[in-house]
Amino acid sequence: MARNLDGFNFEQRHGKDRVRVGRVWRNKDGRHFFVEWSVSISLLSDCVAAYVRDDNSDVVATDTMKNTVYVKAKECSEQLSMEDFAILLAKHFISFYHPVTSAIIKIVEKPWERIYIDGQQHEHGFKLGSEKHTTEVILKKSGTLQVTSGIEGLALLKTTKSGFEGFIRDVYTALPETQERVLATEVTASWRYSYESLSSIPPNPHCFTERYLDVKKVLVDTFYGPPTQGVYSPSVQSTLYQMARNVLNRFLDISSVELKMPNIHFLPVNLKNKDNETIVKFADDVYLPTDEPHGSIQASLSRFWSKM
Ligand SMILES: O=c1[nH]c(=O)c2[nH]c(=O)[nH]c2[nH]1
């Protein structure tokens, strides 16, 4: 909420970033479940006096916010999704503290995955995977809720069925047209659920975790196409759009999706010696991997009517 202070427009929020918590749940058969979360809390509250009158009486200490993460993690005796944990924290902050009008909770999960030993799931062993599950929950005292989930660092690559042709050619253009190249990216995805109040959140405690895995599968399957034929990509833009569209077509509980897909270039290697004789002639086989510069391609897609 913006305020007029001394003739200036003033907005503020405060919170605690990257509160790290690990939580183990044990079931009766001795199987352990583990998550590691990095939780960021931001509160919008009526505590202007702290800024202008040296009066902290309406301030929730950020240290208290940090402690609350551990208290609530302890209280969650049953395993829950990080979206549900974020909602639970947001609910606490807006209801427990009178001056707080909105809570914004972000969580990034470290990708610990159950380990397999000799093809068998380990009861209490985990190894670090790659891409990360993220969420952002915004809850207002009025009851308005926004739940966004996402993926960070989903690295995908295919060695054929990708090209780029027909783009603008002018005096600055050097890039040859091609129907054969490596396509590589690191997807950052976020999607907003259509739940707009606490009462509309599904009671199934696994719903957000399952949906995360479903969305990831649709993104990945669309990028690669079927295992033997694959699918031709005429550009990162086209593949990104197919990926976003498939998510919205498949999941009616998602109202919008945003994808960021850098085009990570693998450059053809052609080498000549000082007499201009060819040492290495590129035949779609030897590449120079790069990470910068890279193309940056992003888009968002949303329904005209976001309600289910
Ligand atoms: O798929 C692509 N999209 C682009 O916009 C672009 N630009 C470029 O140089 N290579 C590519 N590839």
CA quadruple 219, 224, 229, 234: dihedral positive or negative?
positive
Q: What is the pLDDT of residue 151?
A: 98
pLDDT band at 1 (very low <50, low <70, confident <90, very high): confident
Q: What is the mean pLDDT of residues 42-50?
A: 95
Structure confidence at residue 43 (pLDDT) = 98
pLDDT tens digits for 79-127? 999 999 999 999 999 999 999 999 999 999 999 999 999 999 999 999 9
Is the pLDDT at 44 greater than 90? The verdict is: yes
72 is known as an active-site residue: no
Q: And the tokens for 216?
A: 């990831």
Among 66, 92, 106, 265, the one annotated catalytic: 265
Mean predicted confidence (pLDDT) in 276-296: 97
pTM over 0.90: yes
Q: Write down the domain spans for the chain.
A: 11-143, 150-308
pLDDT for residue 110: 98
Query: Which residue from 253, 15, 305, 261 is spatially nearest to 149, judged by alpha carbons?
Result: 253
> For a pocket test of ligand 1, which of 165, 180, 263, 296 has the largest count of ligand atoms closer than 8 A to its C-beta?
263
pLDDT at res. 2 = 84
First vs last Cα of the chain: how many Å apart? 29
- Ligand 1 center to 235 CA (angstroms): 6
Mean residue pLDDT of the chain comes to 97
Q: Which residues line ligand 1 (CB under 6 A)?
A: 164, 175, 235-237, 263, 295
Percentage of the chain lying above the pLDDT 70 cut: 99
Q: Which of 236, 240, 265 to mutate to test the pocket of ligand 1 (most atoms within 8 A of CB)?
A: 236
Structure tokens at 288: 């120079």
Residue 62 bears catalytic tag? yes
Annotated binding residues, written as ranges, equal 62-63, 164, 181, 236-237, 263
Alpha-carbon distance of 156 to 292, in angstroms, equals 17
What is the rounded distance in angstroms from the CA atom of residue 37 to the CA atom of residue 176? 45
Q: What would the mean pLDDT of 171-200 be, rounded to a whole number?
A: 97
- Do 104 and 138 meet the contact criterion of CB atoms below 8 Å apart? yes
Is the pLDDT reported for residue 210 higher than 70?
Answer: yes
Q: Tell me, which fold does domain 150-308 have in CATH?
A: Urate Oxidase (3.10.270)
Predicted confidence at residue 308, as pLDDT, reads 46
Active site residue 265: yes
* Structure confidence at residue 148 (pLDDT): 98
Say yes or no: do domains 11-143 and 150-308 share a fold.
Answer: yes
Which is catalytic among the residues 16, 106, 158, 260? 16
What are the backbone angles phi and psi of residue 16, rounded to the nearest 5°? -125, 130
ipTM above 0.90, yes or no: yes
Torsion of CA 152, 236, 299, 187, to 10 degrees: 0
Alpha carbon of 302 to ligand 1 centroid (Å): 24
Non-local (6+) Cβ contacts of 99 within 8 A are 45, 46, 47, 58, 60
**Domain 11-143 is in which class?**
alpha beta
pLDDT tens digit sequence for 235-244: 999 999 999 9
Residue 192 has pLDDT above 70, yes or no: yes
